[in-house]
Copies of this chain bind each other. A is one copy, B any other.
């Protein structure tokens, strides 16, 4: 089955828009994309402490929270080694790996935005003064 999301049927569009909205919600959370990108970049499992170092600015509570949610949503897999000192590794699941093309497209778009705002002016318009 192939999505033809630009089709004419308004009902179908509603279904897909909703489904995609729900799906995107899985990626929301201040640190999730960064975590996922780091896991992609690592090309293999990362320990908790490794992630803590690579995801700059995150604290333990947030990192754990986001990892647990990603795990619950089937994006990452958590593997515990019953050793002392404790060792826990996080990997992308098959579903997580399948995010590759989306991430790549988003990175491309991020670049496009940077270039667009960099060529005409020095800084971004950004969003501010809203109230």
* A positions within 8 Å CB-CB of B: 1, 3, 5-7, 10, 13-14, 16-24, 27-28, 30-31, 33-34, 37-38, 40-41, 43, 54-56, 68-69, 72-74, 95, 98-99, 101-116, 125-128, 130
Residues B56 and A14 in contact, CB atoms below 8 Å apart: yes
Which B residue's beta carbon lies closest to that of A30? B21
Of A5, A56, A99, the most chain B CB neighbours within 10 A belong to A5
Which B residue's beta carbon lies closest to that of A101? B105
A114 contacts across to B, CB distance below 8 A: 19
Instruction: For the complex, give the distance between the alpha carbons of A17 and B41 in Å.
Output: 10
Which B residue's beta carbon lies closest to that of A128? B72
Residues A3 and B108 in contact, CB atoms below 8 Å apart: yes
